[in-house]
Structures are given as C-alpha cells and as structure tokens.
Amino acid sequence: MSNAGKCSDGTGATEFSTHSTLLLRIKASEPQPREVAWGEFRDRYAPIIAGFARNLGARAQDVDDVIQDVITGFYARSAAFVYDSSKGHFRGYLKVCTFRVLRRRLGNSAQFRAVPIEEVDPESLEVDQVWNDVWEQEQLKRALDATREEYRGNDTFRAFELYVVLGWPPEEVCKETGLGIDSVYKAKARVTQTLRKMLRRLTEEQG
C-alpha cells in the first residue's frame, strides 16, 4: 500500500498522518470530548467512504455497513495510532482501509468497471482517481458550507450561488437578490476568494 502506513485487518499498532488535533481529541481520556471527536470524525469521513463504496459497486443497502466497518476498525485500533507527519497522508490510509472492508464484506458481489472487486488492484490509477474525485467533491462541499456560513445574513453568497454555481445570467441574479450588477460581480470575486481560503484550510487539516 501507500506510505500512509499499514492498515491491518486485525490487531497491531498503526502509524499514519492525519490532522493532529482531531487525532488527539479522539484519544482523549475524558469521555465527552472523545465522543465529540468521534462524531466529528464520522461526519468528516463517512460521506467519502460512502461515495467511494458506491463507485466501486456497493449496493445502497451495503453502504452503511461499509461505513460502520471502517469506522469501527479505526476505533478498535485508535489507541495504538501514533501521529507522525512523515508517514504520509491520511487520505491514502483511509482509502486502503475502505477498499479492504469492501473486498472483505462484498467479495465478488461488487464489481468495478465489470471486474469483481476481489480482482481489482487497490493501487491502480483508476481506483486512485475514483477515491480522489470523491475526496475532492466532499472537500468542495464542506468548503461551500463553511463559506455559506461566513456570509450568512446577507445576499453576497446567494448572488454567488445563483451566478456561479447555478449559472444564472447576472441580470436575473440582480432581480432575484436586489443587488446591482457591479455588486453581483463583486460577490463572485469575494466569495471565490473565501472559498479558496476554505479549501486551502481543509487541505492543510486533512492531508
């Protein structure tokens, strides 16, 4: 597998690189902050696991079980995890863990591009591309949500969403939001800059 560390199917210490603050909170001695951290972990990574599973042929009824298996396996080994930024990116570690759960749980009942998943190479460029696409889509969604929250209470993000995301003509955006044409163009520039900042922050945090 990649240099992100070993993803065992049983027990054993594992080293990987991920956002250090979240990792430390997951291992907190107090139950309440630990539970909050695990909730954050699930919220952050479950959509990525689910998207990858669907793209590799998992049926809708299997996706929740795959998520549960990946997170449960992570939880079972979390006490042995050691944060080490030199070991690589957490995204590569999570991809391998998810793929192994898919292979173990679904076997030949799932296919990726007409090939049974048991015969698919997890390190292939095609599998990497699927994982990276799902990861980046989720990053963009989270960045958009954070940007929307930052502009809550005014029409700036709404103008951006209508003009850039939904492709409305600027004149129609003006009618919908009550903004002038110059304000619509400025909203595009301002929100785009904020969105890029959010994406950089997520990339730095999650690896």
- pLDDT for 48-63, tens place per residue? 999 999 999 998 889 9
User: Total structural domains in the chain?
Assistant: 1
The percent of residues in the chain predicted with pLDDT above 90, rounded, is 47
Kindly state whether residue 38 falls inside one of the protein's structural domains.
Answer: yes
pLDDT, mean over the chain? 82
Give residue 68's domain range. Answer: 1-124
Kindly state whether residue 147 falls inside one of the protein's structural domains.
Answer: no
pLDDT at 110 over 90: no
The three-state DSSP-derived secondary structure of the chain is CCCCCCCCCCCCCCEECCCHHHHHHHCCCCHHHHHHHHHHHHHHHHHHHHHHHHHCCCCHHHHHHHHHHHHHHHHHHHHHCEECHHHCCHHHHHHHHHHHHHHHHHHHHCEECCEEHHHCCCCCHHHHHHHHHHHHHHHHHHHHHHHHHHCCCCCHHHHHHHHHHCCCCHHHHHHHHCCCHHHHHHHHHHHHHHHHHHHHHHHHHHC
CATH at 105: 1.10.1740.10
Model pTM above 0.85: no
pLDDT at 20 over 90: no
Kindly state whether residue 204 falls inside one of the protein's structural domains.
Answer: no
